[in-house]
Amino acid sequence: MLEKISQAKVFGGWHQQFTHLSKVVNCSMRFAIYLPEEASSDNPVPVLYWLSGLTCTDENFMQKAAAFKAAAKLGIAIVAPDTSPRGKEVPDDADEAYDFGHGAGFYVDALQLPWKTHYQMYSYIVGELPDLIEAHFPVSKLRSISGHSMGGHGALVIGLRNSERYCSISAFSPISHPIDCPWGTKALSHYLGKDIELWKQYDAVELLKQAMARLPILVDQGEDDPFLASQLKPDLLLSAAERSGSDVKLRMQPGYDHSYFFIQSFIEDHLRFHAGFLHNQERAES
């Protein structure tokens, strides 16, 4: 059951927040949705799923990304889930660090105790959440996926592994190669255990090396991002894409950092990128 906890009109459409009891992550989860004015049961709109980064909730993108004007114009809904299970019953990092546990689900299905009881964000994003959205809102089954930082990693991995479920993929400042950076190795070793072979299915660089991407991918990266060299490594993404002949467009943006000020500067490009593929598919199916 969905419980609506807020609603505000924005650019003619509606921003709403809901909570629901998730079977997959085994606790109450909050998400936000933006529905453009034109969305109705007679006119279901496609959906962009947005995955946020470390420490974020459903609110960061919705409040700071300045995405609604373009989404309203392009006729696209946006769904922003939380970045992890939360609550007193959900285990957290022992030191309450920002980069593991609450706010840092890393979009994986955990295999290790005590994490695996709740940290099943991969299956939540791929299956349970879109099923819920498509059952309760005036949206079609056409989806694209995007995200930022840890959420850029999530969008790439989920889109690459489930190409039949999405029309296009994009990312801002993604953690491209989590099996070889501090944020990634901390999270993957705890959630998945020591076997690095298990980590590779959650690594965009490894996935792009193994097989040609079936979906188009747009990536924006700020050149003055303090995490660029140590955590993000988009150059590895590009070389893996070239190796497999994948359609990855990486745009290095001079002067921009890791913040939502960077995201809001280019989010319209991403929305137009996704809208092109979503509406093309819509026309093909009608």
Which CB atom, from 204 or from 263, has the smaller least distance to its own copies?
Answer: 263
Reading the block at residue 212, the tokens are 């040609």
The answer to whether the CB of 82 falls within 8 A of the CB of 57 is yes
Tokens 């400042």 — which residue? 173
| Residue 1 or 254 with smaller CB distance to its own copies | 254
CA–CA separation, 53 vs 120, rounded Å? 16
User: Which of the ranges 102-110, 148-156, 171-179, 258-266 carries the binding residues for its own copies, by CB under 8 A?
Assistant: 258-266
Contact 271, 70 (CB under 8 A): yes
- Per residue in 49-62, is it b (16+ CB within 10 Å) or e — as a string? bbbbbbebbbebbb
Pick between residue 68 and residue 119 the one whose CB is nearest to its own copies: 68
Site for its own copies (CB under 8 A): how many residues? 23
Catalytic member of 52, 84, 146, 149: 149
**Catalytic residue list contains 269:** no
Q: Which stretch binds its own copies (CB under 8 A): 75-83, 94-102, 249-257, 272-280?
A: 249-257
3-state class (DSSP) for residue 96 = coil
List all residues 6 or more positions away from 39 whose beta carbon is below 8 Å from its beta carbon. Answer: 13, 45, 75, 77, 137, 138, 139
* Interaction residues for its own copies, span 175-194 (CB under 8 A): none
Task: Give the Cα-Cα-Cα angle 170, 173, 177 (nearest 5 degrees).
Answer: 90
Q: How far is the CB of 257 from its own copies (least distance, A)?
A: 5
- Give the start-end residues of each E strand in 52-165: 77-81, 139-147
Instruction: Point out which span in 21-29, 138-146, 263-271, 274-282 binds its own copies (CB under 8 A).
Output: 263-271
Closest separation between CB of residue 216 and its own copies, Å?
A: 25
Residue window 204-243: x/- pattern of binding to its own copies, with contact defined by CB under 8 A = ------------------x-x-------------------
Query: Which letter does DSSP use for residue 145 in this model?
Result: E
DSSP for 187-202 reads HHHHHH-S-HHHHGGG
Out of 170, 220, 225, 246, the active site residue is: 225
* Residues 15-34, interacting with its own copies (CB under 8 A): 15
* 225 part of the active site: yes
Nearer to its own copies, 123 or 266 (CB): 266
The footprint of its own copies on residues 36-95 (CB under 8 A) is 63-64, 66, 68-69
- Per CB under 8 A, the list member of 1, 194, 255, 286 interacting with its own copies is 255
190 catalytically annotated: no
Q: What does the block give as tokens for 222? A: 């700020």
- Helices and strands: H and E segment counts in the chain: 10, 9
Q: How many Å separate Cα 56 from the centre of its chain?
A: 12
Residues found near its own copies in the complex (CB under 8 A): 8-12, 15, 63-64, 66, 68-69, 222, 224, 255-257, 259-262, 264-265, 268
The catalytic residue positions are 149, 225, 258
